[in-house]
């Protein structure tokens, strides 16, 4: 039991160290590059070029910040609110640029970049160093000191220990042990401190309540607009499809009634056509119901509904589900299902992917969905893309959307929705 506990703790410390190292690289490279691109793009606004580049650069900044929000919630349980203002689809470059620059959440993202590149890098590097620097001390104690000195002079410093021979190298090894013990106690706390610093900059300040009310109002408006649009679509599909076919069936049956004695052959022909029309109308009604709320979703849950989507996809799609036997609330399942459907549709239409993988997991009150394709990349949130609609759909339930899609691929669309399973 003790051995298993020690092994588990060692694994947790190593995992925290690897995560901290990744965060340090992400802070130093990602935040620094995005900061430079943002400043250059803003300086180009008076020349006109910045009106084109700024929305794209700020979309990258937002994706970078959203990725950090997801990691904070997933790794340390630190929730960082996301409260971006919607930009009208099809807005002109001038309007789009200044709508983005007027968004307090976007301005916080930009202010966060230099903080993350300096303080964020430091707070991530320290726990990584606590985990991996002891390896150097152990290597020196085991004989690496001979590479740096022949024992007659100080050839290397390990922390505050001058290494000039086997004795001092052994002290370096003891210091490595002390650092490793400190890593066991401090690394998780330091990793959490990194995300708390991120939250301190990215989260809304004193106006958080007002901002939250505004976001909820916008989400409610989006939900109402989406419901109205869905109702109009249903009415249109019924009028143009099943309703027209059923009217034709009624007319054919009326003609059959008039011809059944005078021209039985013609009456049988019309009956056959009426039967085909009724079957087609039934198929259209089933498709319509499936578009409103798929029966497989209501009967068998989100996992099987997503598997059904994968079976209908023209691109080979693999699905991995780890949500236990519970069910989320029906509105959450519906939002997640249609979000996955939209992302899969985008991947099939635009990515040129040869394979797609969908992963669904539920951990610590969070439903996490990742859709990965091996296509050409270049997917962005905004500019009227389908992903913007997905983000608004998830926002109704306090969900977040993050997109990683470098040129050349792969594209990873990550969605998270807070929910409990019944």
Per-residue pLDDT tens digits for 329-349:
888 888 888 888 888 888 888
Does residue 242 share a domain with residue 94? no
Please report, for the domain that includes residue 374, its CATH number: 3.30.565.10
C-alpha–C-alpha distance, residues 390 and 197, integer Å? 29
Which region among 111-115, 140-144, 234-238, 404-408 has the lowest average model confidence (pLDDT)? 234-238
Does residue 236 share a domain with residue 96? no
Query: Looking at the 3D structure of the chain, how many domains does it have?
Result: 3
Instruction: Say which residue the tokens 């250059």 belong to.
Output: 40
Q: For the chain, state the CA radius of gyration.
A: 29
C-alpha–C-alpha distance, residues 112 and 51, integer Å? 22
User: How would residue 267 be classed by pLDDT, with cut points 50, 70 and 90?
Assistant: confident
Q: Is 366 helix (H, G, I), strand (E, B) or coil?
A: strand
Query: What is the extent of the structural domain holding 22?
Result: 2-202
Q: What is residue 151's predicted lDDT score, i.e. its pLDDT?
A: 65
C-alpha–C-alpha distance, residues 110 and 120, integer Å? 14
Does residue 287 share a domain with residue 249? yes
Cα angle 156, 157, 160 (rounded to 5 degrees) comes to: 165
Q: Which of 405, 331, 396, 399 is nearest to 365 (CA)?
A: 399
Residue with more model confidence, 278 or 6: 278
Residue 118 has pLDDT above 70, yes or no: yes
Does residue 312 share a domain with residue 288? no
Does residue 146 share a domain with residue 6? yes
With respect to residue 406, please indicate whether it lies within any of the assigned structural domains: yes
Contact 237, 284 (CB under 8 A): yes
Helix (H) or strand (E) holding 411: strand 411-418
Residue with more model confidence, 207 or 44: 44
With respect to residue 207, please indicate whether it lies within any of the assigned structural domains: no
With respect to residue 230, please indicate whether it lies within any of the assigned structural domains: yes
User: How would residue 210 be classed by pLDDT, with cut points 50, 70 and 90?
Assistant: low
* 302 Cβ neighbours under 8 A, 6+ residues apart: 323, 327, 328, 333, 336, 337, 360
**3-state DSSP: the chain helix, strand, coil percent, rounded to 5?**
70, 10, 20
Q: Which of 289, 344, 286 is nearest to 312 (CA)?
A: 344
C-alpha–C-alpha distance, residues 347 and 333, integer Å? 21
Does residue 156 share a domain with residue 21? yes
Tokens of 67: 């990725």
Q: What is residue 196's predicted lDDT score, i.e. its pLDDT?
A: 94
* 176 Cβ neighbours under 8 A, 6+ residues apart: 133, 134, 135, 136, 137, 138, 141, 158
Does residue 52 share a domain with residue 153? yes
Q: Which of 69, 97, 73, 98 is nearest to 83 (CA)?
A: 69
Does residue 316 share a domain with residue 197? no
C-alpha–C-alpha distance, residues 414 and 410, integer Å? 13
Mean pLDDT, range 7-26, rounded to an integer: 88
Does residue 87 share a domain with residue 114? yes
Residue at which a domain ends, from 202, 227, 251: 202
Tokens of 265: 């052959």
With respect to residue 209, please indicate whether it lies within any of the assigned structural domains: no
Residue at which a domain ends, from 202, 225, 242: 202
What is the average pLDDT score of the chain? 82
With respect to residue 208, please indicate whether it lies within any of the assigned structural domains: no
With respect to residue 319, please indicate whether it lies within any of the assigned structural domains: yes
Beta bridge partners of 360: 321, 369
User: How would residue 1 be classed by pLDDT, with cut points 50, 70 and 90?
Assistant: very low
Residue with more model confidence, 68 or 246: 68
C-alpha–C-alpha distance, residues 355 and 411, integer Å? 11
User: How would residue 197 be classed by pLDDT, with cut points 50, 70 and 90?
Assistant: very high
Does residue 274 share a domain with residue 175? no
Q: Which of 305, 335, 339, 301 is nearest to 421 (CA)?
A: 301
With respect to residue 173, please indicate whether it lies within any of the assigned structural domains: yes
Residue with more model confidence, 298 or 30: 30
Phi, psi of 213, rounded to the nearest 5 degrees: -60, -40
Q: Is 317 helix (H, G, I), strand (E, B) or coil?
A: strand
Mean pLDDT, range 280-298, rounded to an integer: 65
Does residue 235 share a domain with residue 371? no
Q: Which of 137, 149, 123, 199 is nearest to 174 (CA)?
A: 137
User: How would residue 276 be classed by pLDDT, with cut points 50, 70 and 90?
Assistant: confident
pTM exceeds 0.85: no
Which region among 219-223, 310-314, 355-359, 389-393 has the lowest average model confidence (pLDDT)? 219-223
With respect to residue 317, please indicate whether it lies within any of the assigned structural domains: yes
**Can you spell out the DSSP letters for 203-236?**
S--TTHHHHHHHHHHHHHHHHHHHHHHHHHHHHH
Residue at which a domain ends, from 152, 167, 202: 202
> Strands 366-373 and 400-404: what pairing?
unpaired
Does residue 326 share a domain with residue 251? no
Tokens of 422: 């019944």
Q: What is residue 297's predicted lDDT score, i.e. its pLDDT?
A: 79
């Amino acid at each position: 039991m003790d051995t298993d506990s020690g092994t588990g703790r060692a694994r947790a410390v190593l995992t925290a160290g690897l995560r901290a190292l990744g965060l340090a690289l992400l802070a130093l490279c990602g935040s620094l590059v995005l900061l430079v691109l943002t400043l250059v793009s803003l300086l180009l606004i008076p020349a006109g070029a910045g009106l084109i580049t700024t929305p794209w650069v700020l979309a990258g900044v937002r994706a970078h910040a959203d990725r950090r929000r997801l990691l904070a919630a997933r790794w340390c349980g630190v929730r960082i609110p996301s409260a971006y203002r919607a930009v009208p689809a099809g807005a002109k470059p001038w309007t789009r640029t200044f709508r983005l620059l007027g968004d307090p959440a976007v301005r916080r993202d930009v202010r966060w970049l230099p903080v993350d590149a300096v303080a964020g890098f430091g707070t991530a590097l320290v726990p990584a160093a606590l985990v991996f620097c002891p390896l150097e001390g152990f290597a020196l104690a085991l004989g690496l000191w001979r590479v740096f000195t022949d024992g007659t002079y100080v050839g290397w410093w390990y922390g505050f220990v001058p290494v000039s021979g086997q004795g001092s190298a052994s002290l370096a090894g003891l210091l490595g042990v002390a650092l490793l013990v400190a890593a066991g106690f401090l690394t998780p706390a330091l990793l959490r401190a990194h995300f708390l610093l991120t939250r301190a900059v990215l989260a809304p300040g004193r106006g958080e309540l007002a901002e939250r009310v505004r976001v909820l109002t916008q989400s409610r408006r989006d939900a109402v607009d989406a419901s109205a649009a869905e109702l109009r679509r249903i009415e249109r599909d019924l009028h143009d499809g099943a309703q027209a076919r059923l009217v034709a069936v009624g007319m054919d049956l009326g003609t059959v009634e008039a011809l059944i004695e005078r021209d039985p052959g013609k009456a049988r022909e019309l009956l056959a056509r009426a039967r085909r029309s009724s079957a087609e109308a039934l198929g259209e009604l089933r498709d319509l119901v499936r578009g409103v709320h798929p029966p497989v979703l209501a009967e068998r849950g989100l996992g099987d509904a997503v598997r059904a989507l994968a079976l209908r996809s023209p691109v080979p799609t693999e699905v991995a589900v780890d949500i236990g036997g519970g069910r989320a609330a029906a509105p959450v399942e519906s939002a997640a299902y249609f979000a996955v459907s939209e992302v899969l549709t985008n991947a099939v239409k635009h990515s040129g992917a040869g394979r797609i993988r969908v992963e669904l997991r539920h951990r610590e009150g969070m439903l996490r969905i990742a859709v990965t394709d091996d296509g050409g990349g270049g997917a962005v949130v905004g500019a009227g893309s389908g992903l913007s609609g997905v983000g608004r759909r998830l926002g109704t339930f306090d969900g977040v959307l993050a997109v990683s899609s470098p040129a050349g691929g792969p594209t990873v669309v990550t969605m998270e929705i807070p929910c409990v399973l019944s």
